[in-house]
Structure 1
Amino acid sequence: MKKSVIAIFLSLITMLEISTNVYAHYDSAYWHEERETTPYIEQYVDWMITIPDSRRLSEISLPGTHDTMAYDSSLPFGNIARTQTMNLEQQLNSGIRYLDIRLAHKETYFQLHHGVVDLGYNFDYVLQTVISFLNRYPTETVIMRIKQEHTSENDRKMLELFTKYYDKYKDSLWDRENSENPYNPKLFELRGKILILSDVYSIYQGINYREVLKQDEYHLGSNWDLYRKWEVVKDQIERSDKEEPGRIMMNYLSASGGAYPYFVASGHIDPSTYANRLSTGLTEPGFKNYYLDFPRTGWFGVFATISFEGTNTLTADYLKSRCIKRAGIVVADFPGERLIDEIIQCNYRK
Structure 2
Amino acid sequence: MSALTIPGTHDSAAYTNAWPFIQTQRMDILGQLNAGIRYLDLRCGLRDDLVEMVHGSAILGLKLSKLLDIMYLWLMSHPSEALVVQVKQDRKSERSTVHFSQAIWCCIAQAPERWRTANTTPVLGELRGKIQLFRRFTGPTLHAYGIDVTQWQDNPTRPFTIYTWHAVQLTIQDHYRPADAEAESLPSLIAKKDGDVVELLDNANANVDPAHWYLNFTSAYEFNLWYQLSPREVAVGGYWAFRWEGGINPRLREYLRTRKGKRRYGIVAMDFPDTGADDLIAILITSNNEQASDLDRTWRRLFVMTIWLALVATVTLTTLKIRQQLGLGSSLI
TM-score (norm 1): 0.68
Aligned length: 252
Partner of 1:239: 203
2:219 is the counterpart of 1:261: no
Query: What SS does structure 2 have at the residue aligned with 1:308?
Result: strand
> How big is the shift at 1:149?
1.4
2:325 is the counterpart of 1:325: no
Partner of 1:206: 146
> How big is the shift at 1:280?
5.9
Partner of 2:251: 314
> How big is the shift at 1:120?
0.6
> How big is the shift at 1:152?
5.3
Say what the alpha-carbon RMSD is for the aligned residues: 2.1
- 2:45 aligned to 104, 129, 133, which one? 104
1:25-174 map, 5 Å:
57-72=1-16, 75=17, 78-151=19-92, 157-174=99-116
Do the aligned residues in 1 keep the contact of 2:117 with 2:147 (CA within 8 Å)? no
The one-character-per-residue Cα deviations of 1:190-215 (angstroms, maximum 9, x if unpaired) are 10001111111334432112542110
The one-character-per-residue Cα deviations of 1:261-294 (angstroms, maximum 9, x if unpaired) are 11111112xxxxxxxxx2468xxxxxxxxxxxxx
Query: What SS does structure 2 have at the residue aligned with 1:127?
Result: helix
Partner of 2:191: 227
Residue identity opposite 1:105 in structure 2: L
Do the aligned residues in 2 keep the contact of 1:101 with 1:144 (CA within 8 Å)? yes
Hey, what's the Cα distance between the residues in 2 that align with 1:89 and 1:146? 18
The one-character-per-residue Cα deviations of 1:202-246 (angstroms, maximum 9, x if unpaired) are 344321125421101111443232211111111011011002532
Do the aligned residues in 1 keep the contact of 2:218 with 2:248 (CA within 8 Å)? yes
Query: What SS does structure 2 have at the residue aligned with 1:325?
Result: coil
Hey, what's the Cα distance between the residues in 2 that align with 1:121 and 1:205? 25
> How big is the shift at 1:344?
0.3
Greater relative contact order (Cα < 8 A, sep 6+): 1
> How big is the shift at 1:175?
4.2
Query: What SS does structure 2 have at the residue aligned with 1:241?
Result: helix
Do the aligned residues in 2 keep the contact of 1:184 with 1:247 (CA within 8 Å)? no
Residue identity opposite 2:13 in structure 1: M
Closer/same/farther in 2, CA of residues 254 and 172 from structure 1, 3 Å limit: same
* Structure 1: gaps of 5 or more residues: 1-56, 177-181, 269-277, 282-304
User: Which consecutive segments of 4 or more residues in structure 1 shift more than 4 A?
Assistant: none
Do the aligned residues in 2 keep the contact of 1:251 with 1:331 (CA within 8 Å)? yes
Query: What SS does structure 2 have at the residue aligned with 1:326?
Result: coil
Do the aligned residues in 2 keep the contact of 1:114 with 1:149 (CA within 8 Å)? yes
> How big is the shift at 1:107?
4.2
Query: What SS does structure 1 have at the residue aligned with 2:205?
Result: helix
Residue identity opposite 1:66 in structure 2: H
* Larger Rg computed on CA atoms: 2
2:176 is the counterpart of 1:218: yes
Hey, what's the Cα distance between the residues in 1 that align with 2:59 and 2:101? 22
Hey, what's the Cα distance between the residues in 2 that align with 1:62 and 1:189? 17
Query: What SS does structure 1 have at the residue aligned with 2:195?
Result: helix
Hey, what's the Cα distance between the residues in 1 that align with 2:124 and 2:29? 23
Hey, what's the Cα distance between the residues in 2 that align with 1:161 and 1:169? 14
Do the aligned residues in 2 keep the contact of 1:280 with 1:308 (CA within 8 Å)? no
Residue identity opposite 2:264 in structure 1: R
Hey, what's the Cα distance between the residues in 1 that align with 2:6 and 2:148? 18
Closer/same/farther in 2, CA of residues 183 and 225 from structure 1, 3 Å limit: same
* Structure 2: gaps of 5 or more residues: 152-161, 163-169, 224-228, 292-333
> How big is the shift at 1:320?
2.2
Query: What SS does structure 2 have at the residue aligned with 1:254?
Result: coil
Partner of 1:284: none
